[in-house]
Amino acid sequence: MELENAIGVVDIGSNSFHLVVGGYHNKEFFKIIDDLKVDVRLCEGLAETGYMSEERMDYGEETLRMFKNLCESYHLNNIITVATAAVRKAKNGPEFVKRIKDELDIDIDVISGNREAELDYLGCINSIDFHDGIMMDIGGGSAEFCLIRDRKKVDGVSLPFGSIDLMEMFDLGDKIDKKKIKALRKFLKEAYDKVPFLKEGKGLPVIGIGGTIRNIGRVHRRYINYPLELAHNYHMTEPQVREVVDTAIDMNYSERRDLAGLSHSRTDIFPGASYALLYLMEYIESEKLIISDAGIRNGVIYDYFGFGPDNLVPDIFETSLINTMLLYDCNIPHATHLLGIAWKIADELRPYSGIKGDYGKILKCAAMLHDMGIYIQYRNHHEHSFYLILNAGLEGLSQKEILLSAFVALNHRTNKKIRISDLYKELLSEKDRKMIDELSLYLQIGEYLDRTMDGVVRDLWFDMKDDRAILNVTSVDHPVMVNMIAEECGKKFRRVFGKQLEVRAKMVPRDDPRAEDKIQEKSRL
């Protein structure tokens, strides 16, 4: 795929070097097309000597040469390269920057700790729908924190320790005893006491960024056999975080290498960094961790395309949904009209509905993306839609909402009982299954009403009788498929609402006042 306004972002971190390549296609939608990470450990030994070693710098140069070659293969004209704590703290940091410029003609922007915290903030606040929290990103050589209120960054700071520093300072790479943990707690308390705004965040969720925190989530998902391999917006309670951290601390190095979900490259640095997160949650009395897969690199991209601190993504869900529809070439007029029909049906049947709580995002996501599987193949495209909705990287929804949306889309083409594979059964309650059955029924009826995809249906309403539900349809042309609704959707309707479904259609001229498109009005909600 040829990208317009493409960008490559290189993050020279203290532990790993990371390259992300993406850009806008056809000036419509943004797409990440490559993502590459190499564990360089640039700050190995830095805490002790104050210098980056020649061996690590050599490896860093080789890695950046590979990154540059990859960017050239994508014909990128714009590559942004930022360096964080290791280069920032090292006495020979300027020497490394000059070396890379001379050898590779790459300009490295050594950003300040405050700028690093701001970019982390932009990455998570533009991709997760939350309003208040304490953000923490612990990297190899520093830890960034932000207080966020009403989506705005109130304050931020960078502390000069990271996962490698903690491992080396407190000898946490292999066997860990209580004496080491006591010393680590003392160090962390003194460090956190110097950040006044942390106490202002008492009780707020922690928004966690970085490889260590993603690994905490992955270890937990492996432990509970969580069926979704989604790192972004994964939620954990404080006791769940404590269980993962304590488990790792109680192991020696060789035992941690076999800990399911923990990257081998983090075997030695995981205990100290993960404990820093756990102690933060204890320090501010936080009960929840929200893991963000988006951090500094995403922040650079958002900032580059104009979504900076004063112009955040206004509606994360809507932006992500539209981007996904364009990416998978969805039929937007049809999906929009179908959504309007589904909303109108939902409103009409609300007094008889078994759904409790808000399902707006779920219905909208399923309606707008129900046909996205056609991008792969039309035959059984609802099966492909299910997989794509789960894995498209949708933002602004919880992982549970994404799963429910995927199942609504999957089940919108069948009259049979809903399909829930054994893999996901433990995540879905009986209420969830009833919601899927009901919302997929709305989409199924809507599909028949707009089967010609030309928006002929202008209004609908139900007359509810003791044993019957009469669906009245007003259209500006004969909706041929309307005759099939009672037959194809009737069994499902009776299962959900306990009534026999009948359908009555009335055609009106396009210039008739009764042809006012009330369905279209609903789709705008």
Q: 193 or 416, which is more confident?
A: 193
Q: For 484-522, give the DSSP string.
A: HHHHHHHHHHHHHHSSEEEEEEEE--TTSGGG--HHHHH
Closest-CA residue to 207 (of 283, 123, 299, 85): 123
At 319, list the tokens: 């932006």
Has residue 307 been placed in a domain? no
Q: Same structural domain for residues 55 and 44?
A: yes
The answer on 288 and 352 residing in a single domain is no
Q: Band of the pLDDT at 514, cuts 50, 70, 90?
A: confident
Give the Cα separation of 146 and 115 in Å (integer). Answer: 11
Q: What is the mean pLDDT of the chain?
A: 93
CATH number, domain containing residue 292: 3.30.420.150
Please list the helix, strand and coil fractions of the chain in percent, rounded to the nearest 5, in that order. 50, 20, 30
Nearest CA among 507, 467, 465, 501 for reference residue 485: 501
Final residue in a domain of this structure, among 90, 111, 132: 111
Residue (of 316, 128, 299) closest to 230 by Cα position: 128
For residue 387, with 0-12 CB atoms within 10 Å meaning exposed, 13-18 middle and 19 or more buried, which class applies?
A: middle
Task: Name the pLDDT band for 102 (thresholds 50, 70, 90).
Answer: very high
Helix 430-449 and helix 360-369, axial crossing angle in degrees, nearest 10: 40
Same domain assignment for residues 354 and 384: yes
pLDDT confidence of residue 3: 63
- Give dist(CA 410, CA 425) in Å, integer: 15
Cα–Cα distance measured from residue 334 to residue 32, given in angstroms and rounded to the nearest whole number:
27
CATH code of residue 12: 3.30.420.40
What domain range is 187 assigned to?
114-300
Of 61, 86, 111, which residue constitutes the final position of a domain?
Answer: 111
In a domain, 242, yes or no: yes
How many structural domains does the chain have?
A: 3
Q: Is residue 272 part of a domain?
A: yes
pLDDT > 70? residue 212: yes
- Does the pTM of the predicted model rise above 0.85? yes
Nearest Cα to Cα of residue 123 among 143, 146, 150: 146
The DSSP letter of residue 292 is E
| Geometric angle at alpha carbon 87, from 81 and 90, rounded to 5° | 170
The pLDDT of residue 362: 97
| pLDDT of res. 484 | 85
Lowest-confidence region among 171-175, 293-297, 506-510, 514-518: 514-518
Whose tokens are 């199924």? That residue is 444
* 287/191 same-domain check: yes
How is residue 181 written in tokens? 């943990």
Q: Look at residue 214 and tell me whether its pLDDT is greater than 80.
A: yes
Is residue 88 domain-shared with residue 159, that is, in the same domain? Answer: no
Residue-level pLDDT at 201: 96
Place 487 in a pLDDT band, splitting at 50, 70 and 90. confident
What stretches of 294-380 show up as alpha helix (H) in DSSP?
A: 296-304, 316-327, 332-349, 360-369
Tokens of 294: 């988006």
SS (H, E, C) 18-32: EEEEEEEECCCEEEE
Mean pLDDT throughout 286-303?
A: 96
Task: Compute the C-alpha angle 500/503/508, nearest 5°.
Answer: 165
* Chain centroid, CA 141 distance in Å: 26
What element of type H or E holds 403?
Answer: helix 399-410
pLDDT average, residue stretch 361-368: 97
pLDDT in tens, 413-444: 876 677 777 889 889 999 999 999 999 999 99
- Whether 10 is in a domain gets the answer yes
The residue behind tokens 């909208």 is: 364
pLDDT for the residue numbered 24: 82
Q: Judge if 92 and 232 occupy the same domain.
A: no
Instruction: Examine residue 118 and state whether it is found in any structural domain, yes or no.
Output: yes
Q: Are residues 105 and 130 in the same domain?
A: no
* Residue 482 pLDDT > 80: no
Q: In this structure, how many other beta carbons lie within 10 angstroms of the beta carbon of residue 296? A: 28
Q: How far, CA to CA in Å, does 168 sit from each of 82, 139, 173, 266?
A: 25, 14, 8, 13
296 shares a domain with 409: no
Rounded to an integer, the average pLDDT of 256-284 is 97
What pLDDT sits at residue 249? 97
Residue 518 is predicted with a pLDDT of 80
pLDDT at 521: 65
Q: What percent of the chain has pLDDT over 70?
A: 97
Helix (H, G, I), strand (E, B) or coil at 283: helix
Residues 106 and 156 in one domain: no
For residues 201 and 180, state if they share a domain: yes
Report the distance separating Cα 142 and Cα 112, nearest Å: 11
Is the pLDDT at 497 greater than 80, yes or no?
yes
Question: How far is the C-alpha of 270 from the C-alpha of 249, rounded, in Å?
Answer: 9
Q: What is the CATH number of the domain that holds 416?
A: 1.10.3210.10
pLDDT band, residue 137 (cuts 50/70/90): very high
Examine the fold and report which residue of 272, 300, 328 is the final residue of a domain before the chain moves on: 300
The CA distance from 522 to 525, in Å, is: 6
Residues 501 and 354 occupy one common structural domain: yes
pLDDT value at position 2? 58
pLDDT at 1 over 60: no
Same domain, 326 and 365: yes
Burial label, 411 (beta-carbon count in 10 A; 0-12, 13-18, 19+): buried
Tell me: pLDDT of 465 over 60: yes
Domain membership of residue 306 (yes or no) is: no
pLDDT at 455: 85
Q: Quote the pLDDT of residue 479.
A: 63
Q: Is residue 305 part of a domain?
A: no
Q: What is the pLDDT of residues 378-391, one digit of tens each?
A: 988 999 999 999 99
Residue 306 has pLDDT above 60, yes or no: yes
Q: Are 39 and 18 in contact (CB under 8 A)?
A: no
- Can you give the pLDDT at residue 523? 65
Counting residues of the chain whose pLDDT is more than 90, the rounded percentage is 81
Residue 309 forms part of a structural domain: no
* Range 225-236 average pLDDT: 95
For residue 426, the number of C-alpha atoms closer than 13 Å in the C-beta half-sphere is 6
- 104-129 mean pLDDT: 96
pLDDT at 522: 66
